[in-house]
Amino acid sequence: MSSRPAPIDECAGIGLQISATFFFAIMSTMVRVVADQVLSGEIVFARSFSRSFFGGVPLVVWLLWSGRMTSDFRTRQPAGHVIRGLVGVNAMWLTFGALAFIPLDEAVALSYATPLVAVILAGFVLDARESRAAWARSA
């Protein structure tokens, strides 16, 4: 079964990205509000549980309905998925912990360093040679 790339719809992409930014801002604000009363580990657990329930249950139902449950969960790199999951949980934990100690606007400003760090890590992890244009786009 060959898959075709999805047609490019820039307006839809921009709308989805703006919506995602809005919802991430709401999540960060909510984390900041409860960070003084709730441990960051509990916040991470609640966020992970809600993501698994509200995102995972519909996904599993759809995969069962479409008959693709086994084929879509098969992978040749299970260790890579475990590593990605551990990195993601640690990033979430550290982000939520930072929101407990510094103001929300400072945490958001510091998060803007993410693209620059990604370009640097790509050189080490992926052995990628980034051009000056890639550096300029990430700055």
Q: How many residues does the chain have?
A: 139
Alpha-carbon span 116 to 107, nearest angstrom: 16
44-95 pLDDT, tens per residue? 999 888 888 888 888 888 888 888 887 777 888 889 989 999 999 999 999 8
Burial class (CB in 10 A: 0-12, 13-18, 19+), 28: middle
CB 28 within 8 A of CB 107: yes
pTM over 0.75: no
pLDDT value, residue 79: 92
Alpha-carbon span 51 to 135, nearest angstrom: 33
